[in-house]
Chain A
Amino acid sequence: MLESVLVANRGEIARRVIRTVRAMGIRAIAVYSDADAGLPFVREADEAVLLGPAPPARSYLDIDAVIGAARQAGASAIHPGYGFLAENPAFAARVLAEGLTWIGPPPSAIEQMGDKISARNLMERAGVPVAAGTREPVTDAAAAVAEAGRIGYPVMVKAAAGGGGIGMAAAANPAELRAGFETARSRAERFFGNPAILLERYIEHARHVEIQILGLNDGSVIALGERDCSVQRRHQKVAEETPSPGITPELRDRMQAAAIRAGQAVGYRGAGTVECLVDTAAHDFVFLEMNTRLQVEHPVTELVTGIDLVEQQILIADGRPVSFDPLAITFGGHALELRVYAEDPRRFLPSPGMITDWAEPAGPGIRVDAGYAAGNEVTTFYDPLLAKLCVHRASRAEALGLAAEAVSAFVITGPKTNLPFLAELLASGEFASGDYDTSLIARLRPTPGAQRQ
């Protein structure tokens, strides 16, 4: 049994991981930057170590600082959360080289899935459906236009090393493609230090549906159902639900089988997510990417399965069996997650500031994973996620009803939040019908001029 776990993250996910670590009787160690000293996750850990100043490069992304904190606190394992160092194979390898337990997949699996071009090629060989696209990096705009001629418009331009929607653009013709290519390449270079670009056939009217997998210590890979993450702004998720209202049981079975093949192809261990695009017209899907970590929206899967995914991550990393019978997984009811962001609800522009009042909704079927409390300051240094409001009810209609009550009961003053937008989303006929796709928010909020990402 692990003696202690250092959580190399911040905010709501650090707090959520610390909760399970402590519930398992394991010592929880937090690390934090100067800007986060007053946040709940620091207080709730058994021990907390200051990493450095607020900029991520000097704290949460500083591998030497994190390893130094682990030594100082005598940590036996490191949980990376999501973002920051979670999908950095060099960090995972370093943790192992230091003789610590890495609560994540093998570094080789992170590396193979980290480059979107190599991941696509690998998945194609493993029999996982992929969209028509490029098998080699596209080096200039002229080559991109030639490739798009072969693939067919519209195409999506993506950074091979990308994530979080950064460096992505859809193009319907060569002029848009040239512009999108240059933007994507400069962003790829700046954000990921890797200018490699790929093109993929863009599916209009697609849903974004992902499969949760767990790689077990006997080498088997199991699937824990799907999450529908089609409610997005700037290619970033705002609401997620399970089961998806847009797929049939037959399609779910095929997607789960493909996700298991994807995990097996890279010798996966621990929790991972295979993201797919579902073509709603064709009732078919393609592989998008695999996230080799715990996902932000993992709570909806936990709510319908009753399985604590962080607990399974820790058990698997410790070489032990999972806490449930993999052959007897059951799914009950409908779960919905709403991401509460510090941003204005009209244009979704960031809104940092001091939180003067904070009151969370509570009650049967409501779960709130929050990173902040009254008196905390939301700074410009990190992403705008304040909290995840999750609900679980027997049916989708009941879940939506409870979510609307919970949104109106959630009080946050200080920074502007998207709570009014979430209320609007729940009241929209399109979302309520379940028949929506990734352009839902664009329809609710026709593009403001100053918001091109």
Chain B
Amino acid sequence: MAEIRAEMVANVWKVVAAEGQQVHDGDTLVILESMKMEIPVLAESDGTLTKLAVAEGDVIQEGDLIAIIG
């Protein structure tokens, strides 16, 4: 099981993946936006997206949980 956490304060611009979906290493899960920059959050392993903890429009802080890949 791999937890993916936010590396910075950002707004959640787009949720690309859905809970329960099979994902592969390098797939884009969510796109964050901060300081006029888009930051894709990528899967770092193959597996099932067991939890997606953010929704579009959320403001997230450094360290906040974004997703869990089981």
Contacts and interface: CB of A to CB of B under 8 A. Distances in A.
Given A382-B35, A383-B36, A384-B35, A351 B8 contact: yes
A352 B59 CA distance: 13
Given A350-B10, A380-B11, A450 B36 contact: no
A69 B48 CA distance: 53
A343 B8 CA distance: 10
B39 interface: yes
B7 A349 contact: yes
Tell which of A234, A342, A349, A384 has the most Cβ of chain B within 10 Å.
Answer: A349
A343 B34 CA distance: 11
Interface in B35-69: 35-42, 59
A13 to B, nearest CB: 15
Contact of B8 (A234, A349, A451, A452): A349
A349 B8 CA distance: 8
Interface string B1-37: 0000001111100000000000000100000011111
A164 B26 CA distance: 26
A234 B35 CA distance: 14
A342 B37 contact: no
B58 to A, nearest CB: 12
A350 B38 contact: no
A342 B34 CA distance: 11
B9 A383 contact: no
A351 to B, nearest CB: 6
A164 B8 CA distance: 22
A138 B38 CA distance: 25
A353 B38 contact: no
Contact of A380 (B7, B10, B26): B10
A394 B26 CA distance: 49
Given A380-B11, A449-B26, A352 B35 contact: yes
B35 A350 contact: yes
Contacts of B26: 449
A453 interface: yes
Contacts of A380: 9-11, 33-35, 59
Contacts of A452: 40
Given A349-B7, A353-B9, A380-B11, A449 B34 contact: no
A251 to B, nearest CB: 33
Contacts of B10: 350, 380
Contacts of A382: 35-36
Contact of A350 (B39, B40, B41, B59): B39
Contact of A352 (B7, B34, B38, B42): B34
Nearest to B38: A453
Tell which of A343, A380, A383 has the most Cβ of chain B within 10 Å.
Answer: A380
Nearest to B7: A349
A450 B35 contact: no
Nearest to B33: A380
A390 B66 CA distance: 39
Contact of B34 (A164, A350, A451, A453): A350
Contacts of B59: 380
Interface of A: 164, 234, 342-344, 349-353, 380-384, 449-453
Interface of B: 7-11, 26, 33-42, 59
19 contacts: A234-B37, A342-B35, A349-B7, A349-B8, A349-B39, A350-B10, A350-B39, A351-B8, A352-B9, A352-B35, A353-B9, A380-B10, A380-B33, A380-B35, A382-B35, A382-B36, A384-B37, A450-B39, A450-B42
CB-based closest 7 A-B pairs: A350-B35, A350-B34, A384-B35, A380-B34, A383-B36, A352-B9, A450-B42
Given A234-B37, A350-B37, A384-B36, 10 more contacts: A344-B8, A352-B9, A380-B10, A380-B11, A382-B36, A383-B36, A384-B35, A450-B41, A451-B39, A452-B40
